[in-house]
Structure 1
Amino acid sequence: MANTVIIGAQWGDEGKGKLVDLLTERADGIVRFQGGNNAGHTLVVEGKKVVLHLIPSGVLHQGKTCMIGNGVVLDPEVFCKEIDTLGEQGVPVGPDRLMVSLRTHIIMPYHKILDAARESSKIKGNKIGTTGRGIGPCYEDKMSRIGIRAGDFLDEDLLRRKIEAALPEKNALFAMYGAEQLDVDQVFEQIIPFARRVVDYIDDVPAKIQGLQAEGKSVLFEGAQGTHLDIDHGTYPFVTSSSTVSGNAAAGSGCGPATIEEVVAVVKAYTTRVGEGPFPSELEDAVGDHLGEKGAEFGATTGRKRRCGWLDLVVMRESVRLNSPTGIAMTKLDVLGGLEELKICVGYDYKGQRIEYPPQDQHGLAEVAPIYESLPGWNEDISDITSFDALPANARAYIARVEEVLDVPVSIVSVGPGREQTIIR
């Protein structure tokens, strides 16, 4: 398999985990390149549900090297718990199968406290919808050059000194928000049991990627969240704290951009969004309820109910422009079954003019009106269909219209949550 990046093309929750799990069979190495445990990938293998937040989805396949890149922020407690949970489910994960980059930044206890304190202090309407897991504050420390990295766990004296250097500023912020003060010993004792376990997994991820390439082996790059949650290109300020687009796969892993050969954009057959922010095609009616209930639209990480709407090809055009996908993987096509009429958003009315791409100003997306095309639906259950030609004619027409508007082939179609419920064209 070519070196491939898997990205979400909407606001996350597109089903990337299933695609990574599926394509891992053809890859030799799998690397997660951004985000933290604010993302959750839900996999269903042989009827058993597995939810992963940090460890790459490819861990369910034996003989594969899974890596957590420097672009990720890692909560060591969550990391250890995930390893333990996988072990309890019969999937042992040792350092021979999983490695963490020395340059991966660490989410500390004070990051989580600060994240929650900030969000709770905001008035309704100004909340970002953060998961409160310390992701943003950890990235802040990274950019401020005071962050703690996985490699620091190898020197406990250095770790303590870096905690001591970070706390004065954090305690000043806690005082402002009315949160409890922390001391060095308290933080050190809280983090050190997990740090001592993480050190077994720390390794040189860029060198491993280079080694796989030298051996003619392939690497799969796994992203989290979605394109329109990107810190630069998403619906700011209702975004995540990292770059989610395909171009960040190289920077967040430690390899050159020429390493990347293919980009698969994962697209849900409709659109969902968790948390705050504009959503032009959102449905707050019986159809929206149908999509939410049939699609089991609840966040894998937070359990929050997802907002549902028609497929928005305007935001998808932007995703194509930002990611240069060589193919689209469409998930949850089966959820549309039973709807007599389907709609896709093909343009926006913005200040009296039709536009084909989202407005670039901060508030523009909240001011657009979607322009829809209608297509006939289908009633057949497609969850057991294994070939594209066997899909109902209206389902094939729906996919064909998406391909026509975006000028990108839909190469993979998912018709259910199971690994086997996938059509590869």
Structure 2
Amino acid sequence: MNKRSIAFVGGQWGDEGKAKILTWVLRFMRNDLYSNLDLFEKDTEKVKRILTQRFQGGGNAGHTAKTGGRKYAFHQVPSGIVYSGTYNLMGEGMFVNPRELLNEIRALMRKGLRISPDNLGVATNAQVTLDYHVEDDQADFNQEEHSSTGKGIKETAEDRAGRKGMRFIEFLDADLMAKILRDTHFPDGYVVTTLPGEREPTTLTVEEYAHSYDVERFFLAPYTVDETRIVNDPTFLYHAFEGAQSLRLGLNHGAVPGTSSSDPDLVPHRPDIIMGIFKAYESSVGIALRYFVGEMDTELADAVRATLGEFGTTTGKPRHIGWFDVVNARYSIAAAQMDFLSLTKLDAMEIFAEVGSPVKVVTDYNIDGQVSREWLDYFHRRDTLKSAVPVHEVLDSWDRTVERDGHTLTPPAKRYVQCLEDHLKKHFSIIGIGPADDEVIVRENPIEVFYS
């Protein structure tokens, strides 16, 4: 069988539940492949047929996966690590923070995950986020609105674009790291920084600063791999690309200036399938620097936020909450050329019946009296959609999403999904009806459909 590849791209503002759909698809891949292996291979941990890759972003992203009754939070490590039989690549488009990566790996291992160079790799060309990137970013971080995540991502991206960045393979050589630091950032040979565990800044030579990473360097060195070699390895029969953030936060298609510092929809290595992930409503951490046309009123958002769990996985900031925006979604589907769609957290919409509110769908934008349900060229101006007024279709809310058989949508939930599909002119292949990776209604398996 030739390698089969699928990418998972968020179509809204992040936090769409990409890891949930990814882990369901990975479980299908694993069952599909292992059903064709002989007994000896099934019992061999070294059998790795599935490649899972994070291809952009860094510790500013937060993915949550619930499988086997346990909940896992990921920031840099790909979510596929929850399954045996996978090899998980932190790709060359990522921003890797060695100190945080070491802590994340150890935390996941304490929760029972097996992590080693046999199932996790860091691309040699990935850019490294260092303490001074984080310290510079922290100056812009606060718990209000769209400040930075404080993870040093923008600063690392600026260094990469300005040809002053450091690759992971270079970080692993302390002498080379010190030379690069002197050549690019610290020509006098000194770094003023606050080391982990310390409260006050200290002055170090670039050599001392480089060696302050010796623990991380020693631990992470065995994980180093060349991405080109890995993705062309013929023993991988499936390749799953895990996008971070979302298209609407990307540099090219995002709502400037409130974007991230990478492009979540520019997937490398030509995947066969693009799966778009959408939540049944929308949420966004901070909207001061970007539009959020479908935002619901503050009182209603405050009433449902805790039940919906709308706090950032990475920042802990309360998210703004809005109704599903089909104008925005249609643009995302077209821009990312999404082949299949998934809808998550449909069951979470039950909270609106509990608080006595109907549910709404943003069908059009009203801008100074001009109503549009299509994405127009000038919407890319940063000043246009800030003044847009949403036009809603209002539907009854529901207190139960699925019938007692566990896989049939109740009539009001079905009407809501049908409303979205009618406006999007595209149907949802997978619908999430609970937090666990197996709590889904699979109307069609995108892999079986595409490769049939």
Q: Is this a same-fold pair by TM over 0.5?
A: yes
Q: Which moved more, 1:94-103 or 1:215-224?
A: 215-224
Any residues of structure 2 matched to 1:285-300 within 5 Å, and which?
285-300=298-313
The sequence identity of aligned pairs, in percent, is 29
Q: What is the match of residue 242 of structure 2? A: 222
1:278 deviates by 2.0
CA distance in 2, matches of 1:308, 1:171: 48
User: Is the 8 Å Cα contact of residues 128 and 171 (structure 2) preserved in structure 1?
Assistant: no
Question: Alignment partner for residue 417 of structure 1, among 435, 438, 441?
Answer: 435
Q: Does 1:332 align with 2:352?
A: no
In structure 2, stretches of 5+ residues that fail to align are: 30-49, 194-200, 444-452
1:168 deviates by 2.8
Question: Alignment partner for residue 273 of structure 1, among 280, 284, 296?
Answer: 284
Q: What is the match of residue 155 of structure 2? A: 137
> Residues 305 and 196 (structure 1 numbering): CA distance in 2 closer, same or farther, change over 3 Å?
same
User: Is the 8 Å Cα contact of residues 311 and 344 (structure 1) preserved in structure 2?
Assistant: yes
For the aligned residue pairs, the C-alpha RMSD in angstroms reads 2.5
1:132 deviates by 0.7
CA distance in 2, matches of 1:289, 1:279: 17
Please give the per-residue CA displacement for 1:145-194, whole angstroms capped at 9, x wherever unaligned.
Answer: 1111111134332111112223338999999xxx9766414421332321
Any residues of structure 2 matched to 1:159-198 within 5 Å, and which?
159-168=177-186, 183-198=205-220
CA distance in 1, matches of 2:172, 2:242: 27
Q: Does 1:148 align with 2:150?
A: no
> Residues 190 and 156 (structure 1 numbering): CA distance in 2 closer, same or farther, change over 3 Å?
closer
The alignment's TM-score, normalised by the length of structure 1, stands at 0.89
> Residues 173 and 87 (structure 1 numbering): CA distance in 2 closer, same or farther, change over 3 Å?
closer
Question: Alignment partner for residue 8 of structure 1, among 7, 10, 27?
Answer: 10
The alignment's TM-score, normalised by the length of structure 2, stands at 0.84
CA distance in 1, matches of 2:346, 2:235: 38
User: Is the 8 Å Cα contact of residues 77 and 101 (structure 2) preserved in structure 1?
Assistant: yes
1:133 deviates by 0.6
User: Is the 8 Å Cα contact of residues 267 and 328 (structure 1) preserved in structure 2?
Assistant: yes
Q: Does 1:244 align with 2:246?
A: no
User: Is the 8 Å Cα contact of residues 291 and 335 (structure 1) preserved in structure 2?
Assistant: no
Q: What is the match of residue 347 of structure 1? A: 364
Matched AA of 2:361: I
User: Is the 8 Å Cα contact of residues 124 and 167 (structure 2) preserved in structure 1?
Assistant: yes
CA distance in 1, matches of 2:410, 2:303: 20
Greater helix content:
1
In structure 1, stretches of 5+ residues that fail to align are: none
User: Is the 8 Å Cα contact of residues 280 and 343 (structure 2) preserved in structure 1?
Assistant: yes
Matched AA of 1:357: W
Please give the per-residue CA displacement for 1:119-139, whole angstroms capped at 9, x wherever unaligned.
Answer: 57xxx99x7421111011001
CA distance in 1, matches of 2:272, 2:63: 24
User: Is the 8 Å Cα contact of residues 191 and 209 (structure 2) preserved in structure 1?
Assistant: no
1:10 deviates by 0.5
Any residues of structure 2 matched to 1:2-401 within 5 Å, and which?
2-27=4-29, 28-118=50-140, 128-168=146-186, 183-211=205-233, 214-215=234-235, 217-245=237-265, 248-250=266-268, 255=269, 257=270, 260-276=271-287, 277-337=290-350, 338-339=352-353, 340-355=357-372, 356-357=374-375, 359-380=379-400, 382=402, 386-387=406-407, 390-401=408-419
Please give the per-residue CA displacement for 1:304-328, whole angstroms capped at 9, x wherever unaligned.
Answer: 1111111111110110111111111
Matched AA of 1:372: H
> Residues 288 and 119 (structure 1 numbering): CA distance in 2 closer, same or farther, change over 3 Å?
closer
User: Is the 8 Å Cα contact of residues 230 and 242 (structure 1) preserved in structure 2?
Assistant: yes
CA distance in 2, matches of 1:393, 1:417: 21
1:46 deviates by 3.1
> Residues 33 and 383 (structure 1 numbering): CA distance in 2 closer, same or farther, change over 3 Å?
farther
User: Is the 8 Å Cα contact of residues 57 and 261 (structure 2) preserved in structure 1?
Assistant: yes
Matched AA of 2:26: T
Please give the per-residue CA displacement for 1:243-284, whole angstroms capped at 9, x wherever unaligned.
Answer: 111xx211xxxx3x2xx1111111110010002332111123
Where 2:375 maps in the other structure, the secondary structure is coil
CA distance in 1, matches of 2:343, 2:232: 31
Aligned residues: 405
User: Is the 8 Å Cα contact of residues 318 and 357 (structure 1) preserved in structure 2?
Assistant: yes
Q: Which moved more, 1:288-297 or 1:219-228?
A: 288-297
Q: Does 1:404 align with 2:417?
A: no
Where 2:232 maps in the other structure, the secondary structure is helix
CA distance in 2, matches of 1:44, 1:102: 30
User: Is the 8 Å Cα contact of residues 384 and 415 (structure 1) preserved in structure 2?
Assistant: no
User: Is the 8 Å Cα contact of residues 87 and 93 (structure 1) preserved in structure 2?
Assistant: yes
> Residues 168 and 299 (structure 1 numbering): CA distance in 2 closer, same or farther, change over 3 Å?
same
User: Is the 8 Å Cα contact of residues 5 and 263 (structure 1) preserved in structure 2?
Assistant: yes
